[in-house]
Structure 1
Amino acid sequence: MNNFDWLIGTWQTKQRKRKPLRGSDEWESTGGTLTCHNLFDGAANVDEVDLPGFGFKGVSLRLLDPTTQEWSIYWVNSRNGQLALPPVIGHFENGVGEFFSDEDYEGRPVRVRYRWSNITEKTARWEQAFSTDGGETWETNWESDFWR
């Protein structure tokens, strides 16, 4: 079994997000659906998330490097149609997946972390967090709960 095999299929989701790096406690939320498809016998997958309350759809593409056993995760949304680069890269350990990249956010260098946790056949949680101090502290700016 590959690390993302559990994600294949259709999920309901509740998404919460806030503007990053502003110290805001104002979260906006919406419900939606996510549908994930397996590719390359489990060494890749693609999902589409439909978030009508946020006014966009998004696509994640995950690719497994067979040599390093690390996943690269790419993201694009329907608002701008531009692939977010670089991908976050990482792996699962003890049932938790952590994936990182170094990016620029509004002119500031940030470390980005995606974290998958609470994974069962019927539930999962995803979070995105930013760090401006090289990963010493993190500010979560997006939370997603999934169920089926």
Structure 2
Amino acid sequence: MNSAVNTTQASGINDFDFFIGNWQVKHRRLKERLANCQEWLGFDGNTSVSKILGGAGNIDDNLLEMPDSAYRAATLRSYDAEKDLWSIWWLDGRYPTQLDVPMQGRFINSIGEFYADDTFAGQAIRVRFLWSMPATDQPRWEQAFSVDGGINWETNWVMDFQRVG
């Protein structure tokens, strides 16, 4: 496990240090979300992550090579030391004037859990991001939606990262 990931309730300012750098990404995403779909789409991408805000945040630039067309997106993360809380925003380059609702959470015992209330196709949902760091130093990110307030979850997107260089 990477020592940069917070394993106690101490300051989490370095929680995402493991992610700084350049990555090749293997994406798996459900073809249809919240539709009892079991068909997954696989595609590649890359991500470049840099620290900002004197280390209290980071930003990544993403290329997602979807089967029908590629697009770019960015993730902005900032750390609130008073609350020991990370906030995460997603900006999809296809919709450059819309920032997604911020996900909020923290790492505990090398697992990052982040949550937000949002809507999908007009339906109120709870969104969960899970970050895990296997011993192989290959982080994984998962996104899941819940329509029942977090009782049941549908994982709909998984990213596996392989460091470049």
Name the TM-score class by shorter chain: over 0.9
Q: Pairwise CA RMSD of aligned residues?
A: 1.4
Q: How far did 1:52 drift?
A: 2.2
In the alignment, is residue 3 of structure 1 matched against residue 15 of structure 2? Answer: yes
Distance 1:98 1:144 in 2: 15
Q: Is the 8 A contact 1:4 1:42 kept in 2?
A: no
Equivalent residues in 2 for 1:1-148, closer than 5 Å: 1=4, 2-18=14-30, 19-53=32-66, 54-119=69-134, 122-148=137-163
Provide the TM-score with structure 2 as the length reference.
0.84
Which stretches of structure 1, 4 residues or longer, exceed 6 Å deviation after superposition?
A: none
Q: How far did 1:108 drift?
A: 0.8
Worse-matched range after superposition: 138-147 or 52-61:
52-61
Q: Residues 3, 120 of structure 1: CA spacing in aligned structure 2 closer, same or farther, 3 A cutoff?
A: farther
Higher Rg: 2
User: In the alignment, residue 20 of structure 2 is paired with which amino acid?
Assistant: I
Worse-matched range after superposition: 75-84 or 119-128:
119-128
Q: How far did 1:117 drift?
A: 0.5
Secondary structure of residue in 2 paired with 1:79? coil
User: In the alignment, residue 66 of structure 1 is paired with which amino acid?
Assistant: A
Count of aligned pairs between the two proteins: 148
Q: How far did 1:120 drift?
A: 5.3
User: In the alignment, residue 121 of structure 2 is paired with which amino acid?
Assistant: E
Q: Residues 11, 121 of structure 1: CA spacing in aligned structure 2 closer, same or farther, 3 A cutoff?
A: farther
Task: Give 5+ residue unaligned stretches, structure 2.
Answer: 5-13
Distance 1:37 1:4 in 2: 10
The structure with the largest strand share of the pair is 1
